[in-house]
A and B are shown apart, each in its own frame.
Chain A
Amino acid sequence: MISDETDISQKRLRRIIYVGTAVLASIAGIWIIWRLHSLFLPFIIGALAAFICSPIVDFARHKGLPRGIGIFILFGVFFLTVFLIVTQISNILPDERDKLVLKTRLYYKIHEKYRDLMGLDSPDAKGNIIYTIIGKDIYTAIGTLDKFIVLNNDEQALFIQYSKGYNDKPPIPEKYYRYFEENLKESNKKPEDIIIIEDQPGTDKTDDRQKESMLSSILDVIELWIVMPFVFLFLLIDDGEIKRYFIGMIPNRYFEVSLTVLNNINRAIGNYLRGTTLECSLVGLSFIALFAVIGFEFKWALLIGIIAGIANAIPLFGPAFALVMGFFYAIIIEDINSILPFMNAGNLFIGVIVCVILVRVLDDAVFQPFIIGNAVHLHPLAVIIGIIGGSTLFGFAGLLLTIPSIVVLREFFTTLFRQLKAYNII
């Protein structure tokens, strides 16, 4: 009797200790996750990269290369590639002066094209039939776009400084300065109205501030992303140890079902992620090749192609990005050098449309069926709701990771319920 009572009190004590420990561990876990939430994106990207690359390590092992050496080579090649791509993109990305020129050209060309299309070439013109029907609506739409590309007062002042040569940059060509003047007329201003605050001679405060801020942001980025290569490396080295540790904690009744579920999910998600990576690369390469063929300057074809390829991870975003950027390029470009004799600056935007349609057809008819298959097809509505919800909740990380997360969760629950039924657990 006494022994029974002791047993019960021991059981109760044990339960209290277990629950207490679990609650404390959960609180500590949530606190740690909250404090480290900025590391989520690099951590997840590192883990995904390791997951996607693990078959390469297996292939190296299959070819007789020791696992350690395979991982070392993969690690080197992977980060060298990332470094090269980032360096190339940062070289292509426009600096402050180029951005001002681009905005000026875009603003000027959009308004010029609008006037041409609406028959408003001369100040006295009353416009054609298109203008009568939809002219005002289009002008309103252009007005919305203008908010993003019009130069503000500071930028106008900077443009004038750069036009004469500033910050060791060459002067802005005369033609673009003329565009700038024309753009100012839209807001009834003249270059003389713009007040320029010159830096005091002998002090380079703006320059110093810029350098300091750039250095600080580079350090911030390094501090944040330094975790990524470590996650990548250690997950590849791990070779299933973490999985085995967690499987070890699973009750015997669920042992086989857990192994099966984990394996099926691993295979489905692996196929999806690797397929998507390959598909995105092919879409990006197709854009680069086609845009270069129709006459885009190669560095712009490369930049648009790379970003459109990455954006293609979110369904329809890649082609949409390529279309918009291609249009902007076609609007501002005045002279192209295409290997196709019939292409010129005037019909370049038709070329852009054809390229985007061609890549979409290739993606739908060739890349997706052969690379990804239909196993992880998502309904377009789920895609749109997922992207909006993800980006609202988690910003850029949400935008990038919502679709893979939906696929992972869907595969997880589908496989889990199928296997639980097969094992008569539910």
Chain B
Amino acid sequence: MSPVTVWANGNQSSSLILNTLKKDRVMEHTSKKINALWGNIFARADGTQTDTTADILLRCILFQKLSRRELKKVAHIIYERSYPAGEYLFEKDQPGAAMFIIKKGLVKIVVPTQSGDEVELAALDRDSFVGELALLDDSPRSASAKAVEDTEAVAFFREDLNNLLNTNPEIASKIFKELAVIVGRRLKTTNEQLYRNNEKP
């Protein structure tokens, strides 16, 4: 089982994956795979100009189906946050409440080990997003997100998305649909990886 499974299945699989992570070589190999996976799924077009919140949202796959007018409505319920290097966006096992889109800086997805170290699962930079499963429920985070540089991020709160269902159901349903696509795609990738790993002698 790879760390990707942790990401896909949440807390249930975290003990299993921690055992796997003890094997350094496997971990390194898998970590690279995950980086590649994240990179592939969340690859962005380069944009260098100063962005409005709507611009940042537009480059995030979750919001790409929204019109400019709809994006402005979503931008209205977004929280802007700044994290100095070393600070956590969220920590493992805490209940998830918000998704974060990185506006500037670098964030690493890490899992604390029993020895007190941290195992890096992925590195995310500008326009990547993290913690999107918190938009579905408040189950505990399966890993921590740590700013390794001074980072600016925008946070999208689950309950604001739920409120959107009441006030602007078209917008909310588009976001939920994209979220379902992402989760489905990730599950598919995980299954393929599992299948490939099992096929190896």
Contacts and interface: CB of A to CB of B under 8 A. Distances in A.
B87 interface: yes
B95 A248 contact: no
Interface stretch (A5-13, A252-260, A338-346): A252-260
Contacts of A252: 81-83, 87-89
B169 A247 contact: no
A269 to B, nearest CB: 14
A87 interface: no
B94 A259 contact: no
A405 interface: no
B95 A422 contact: yes
A255 B80 contact: no
B196 interface: no
Contacts of A255: 79, 81, 98, 155
B166 to A, nearest CB: 5
Interface residues of A, number: 21
Given A61-B168, A62-B169, A255-B155, A423 B77 contact: no
A414 to B, nearest CB: 16
Please give me the 8 A-B residue pairs with the lowest Cβ-Cβ distance, nearest first: A256-B97, A263-B159, A61-B167, A260-B97, A58-B167, A423-B94, A422-B95, A259-B157
Contacts of B76: 239
A58 B163 contact: yes
Residue among A58, A256, A260 with the most chain B CB within 10 A? A256
Interface string B169-188: 10000000000000000000
B90 A256 contact: yes
A259 B166 contact: no
A424 B77 CA distance: 27
Given A62-B169, A252-B83, A259 B95 contact: no
Interface in A255-295: 255-257, 259-260, 263
Contacts of B97: 256-257, 259-260
A329 B155 CA distance: 61
Residue among A58, A253, A260 with the most chain B CB within 10 A? A260
Contact of B80 (A239, A248, A257): A248
A173 interface: no
A377 interface: no
A252 B81 CA distance: 7
Interface in B124-144: 138
A248 B79 contact: yes
B79 A247 contact: yes
A260 B155 CA distance: 13
A26 B93 CA distance: 38
17 contacts: A239-B76, A252-B83, A252-B89, A253-B87, A255-B81, A256-B90, A256-B96, A256-B97, A256-B98, A259-B79, A259-B97, A260-B138, A260-B159, A263-B159, A419-B95, A422-B94, A423-B95
Interface in B70-118: 76-77, 79-83, 87-91, 93-98
Contacts of A253: 87-88
A61 B79 CA distance: 22
A62 B167 contact: yes
Contacts of B157: 259, 263
B95 A260 contact: yes
A240 interface: yes
B171 to A, nearest CB: 11
A379 interface: no
A132 B40 CA distance: 97
Contact of B159 (A58, A247, A259): A259
A240 B169 contact: no
A240 B77 contact: yes
A259 B95 CA distance: 12
A422 B163 CA distance: 23
Nearest to A244: B79
B4 to A, nearest CB: 24
A259 B98 contact: yes
A209 to B, nearest CB: 54
A58 B81 CA distance: 27
A252 B94 CA distance: 14
Interface string B146-175: 000000000101010001001111000000
Contacts of B94: 256, 422-424
Contacts of A248: 79-80
A257 B157 CA distance: 11
Interface string A395-426: 00000000000000000000000010011100
Contacts of B96: 256
B95 to A, nearest CB: 5
A256 to B, nearest CB: 4
Contacts of B168: 61-62
B195 to A, nearest CB: 36
A58 B166 contact: yes
A264 to B, nearest CB: 9
Contacts of B79: 244, 247-248, 255, 259
